[in-house]
Amino acid sequence: MDIVLRGGRVFAASGFAEAVLVRDGVIAAVGPESEVVRQAAAHDVVDLDGGLLVPGFTDAHIHPVQAGLERAKCDLSDIYGLDAYLAKIGDYAAQHGDREWIDGGGWDMSAFPGGLPHRSQLDFLDRPVYLIQRDHHAAWVNTRALELAGITAETPDPADGRIERDSGGRPSGVLHEGAMDLVGLLTPRPTASDLDEALVEAQQHLFSLGITGWQDAIVGSYAGSDDQLPTYLSAAESGRLRARVVGALWWDRTRGLDQLDELLERRSRAEGLERFRATSIKIMQDGITENFTAAMLEPYCRCGGTGLSYIDPGKLKEYVAELDRFGFQVHFHAIGERAVREALDSFAGTNPGNRHHIAHLQIIEPSDVPRFAELGVTANLQPLWATHHAQMDELTLPFLGEPRSSWQYPFADLQRAGTRFCAGSDWPVSDADPLQGMHVAVNRTEPGGSVHASYPTAQQPFLPEQRIDLATALTAYTAGSAWINRSPAGIIEPGRPADLVVLDRDPFALPPGDIWTTKVRMTFVDGKIVHEV
One domain for residues 170 and 300: no
Q: What is the residue-wise DSSP string for 262-299? A: HHHHHHHTTTT-SSEEEEEEEEE----TTTT-S--SSP
Q: Please report how many Cα atoms fall inside a 13 Å half-sphere around the Cα of residue 233, on the Cβ side.
A: 14
Over range 35-43, report the average pLDDT.
Answer: 93
How far is it, in rounded angstroms, from Cα 378 to Cα 360?
11
Strand bridging mode 528-532 / 520-525: antiparallel
One domain for residues 161 and 223: no
One domain for residues 238 and 343: yes
One domain for residues 451 and 502: no
Closest-CA residue to 491 (of 15, 5, 3): 15
- CATH number where 167 lies: 3.10.310.70
Q: Are 436 and 384 in contact (CB under 8 A)?
A: yes
Exposure string for 326-361, b = 16+ CB within 10 A, e = fewer: eebbbbbbbbbbbbbbbbbbbbeebeeebbbbbbbb
Whether residue 200 is contained in a domain is answered as: yes
One domain for residues 145 and 220: no
How confident is the model at residue 454, as a pLDDT?
Answer: 83
Q: What is the band of 170 on the pLDDT scale with cuts at 50, 70, 90?
A: very high
Q: What is the residue-wise DSSP string for 382-430? A: -GGGSS--HHHHHHTHHHH-TTGGGGBS-HHHHHHTT--EEE---TTSS
One domain for residues 253 and 372: yes
Whether residue 235 is contained in a domain is answered as: yes
Q: Which of 149, 184, 219 is the last residue of a domain?
A: 184
How far is it, in rounded angstroms, from Cα 135 to Cα 303?
21
**Least reliable range by pLDDT among 27-36, 60-69, 451-460:** 451-460
pLDDT over 90 at 304, yes or no: no
Q: Which residue(s) pair with 225 in the sheet?
A: 222
One domain for residues 22 and 112: no
What residue numbers bound the domain in which 142 lies? 100-184
How confident is the model at residue 362, as a pLDDT?
Answer: 98
pLDDT over 80 at 451, yes or no: no
In degrees and rounded to multiples of 5, residue 362 shows phi and psi of -65, -45
Q: Are 350 and 320 in contact (CB under 8 A)?
A: yes
Whether residue 91 is contained in a domain is answered as: no
How far is it, in rounded angstroms, from Cα 68 to Cα 432?
12
One domain for residues 217 and 338: yes
Count of structural domains within the chain? 3
- CATH number where 225 lies: 3.20.20.140
Q: What is the band of 22 on the pLDDT scale with cuts at 50, 70, 90?
A: very high
How far is it, in rounded angstroms, from Cα 235 to Cα 273?
10
**Least reliable range by pLDDT among 174-183, 345-354, 462-471, 506-515:** 174-183
Closest-CA residue to 452 (of 468, 466, 439): 439
One domain for residues 265 and 405: yes
Q: What is the band of 229 on the pLDDT scale with cuts at 50, 70, 90?
A: very high
Q: Which of 184, 209, 224 is the last residue of a domain?
A: 184
Q: Are 324 and 331 in contact (CB under 8 A)?
A: no
Backbone torsion region of residue 501, taken as left when φ is above 0, otherwise alpha when ψ lies between -120 and 50, otherwise beta: beta
One domain for residues 306 and 162: no
Whether residue 371 is contained in a domain is answered as: yes
The residues, ordered by sequence, that sit 6+ positions from 328 with a Cβ below 8 Å of its Cβ are 263, 267, 279, 280, 281, 354
How far is it, in rounded angstroms, from Cα 343 to Cα 386?
21
How confident is the model at residue 355, as a pLDDT?
Answer: 98
How far is it, in rounded angstroms, from Cα 376 to Cα 391?
32
Whether residue 73 is contained in a domain is answered as: no
Q: What is the band of 271 on the pLDDT scale with cuts at 50, 70, 90?
A: very high
Q: What is the residue-wise DSSP string for 298-353? A: SPPTTT------SS-HHHHHHHHHHHHHTT-EEEEEE-SHHHHHHHHHHTTT--GG
Global pTM value: 0.92
One domain for residues 397 and 267: yes
Per-range mean pLDDT, top range of 114-123, 163-172, 502-511:
502-511
In three-state secondary structure terms, 180 is helix
Q: Which of 168, 184, 200 is the last residue of a domain?
A: 184
- CATH number where 20 lies: 2.30.40.10
Whether residue 140 is contained in a domain is answered as: yes
Give the whole-number percent of the chain exceeding pLDDT 90. Answer: 87
Whether residue 215 is contained in a domain is answered as: yes
One domain for residues 178 and 301: no
How far is it, in rounded angstroms, from Cα 473 to Cα 409?
14
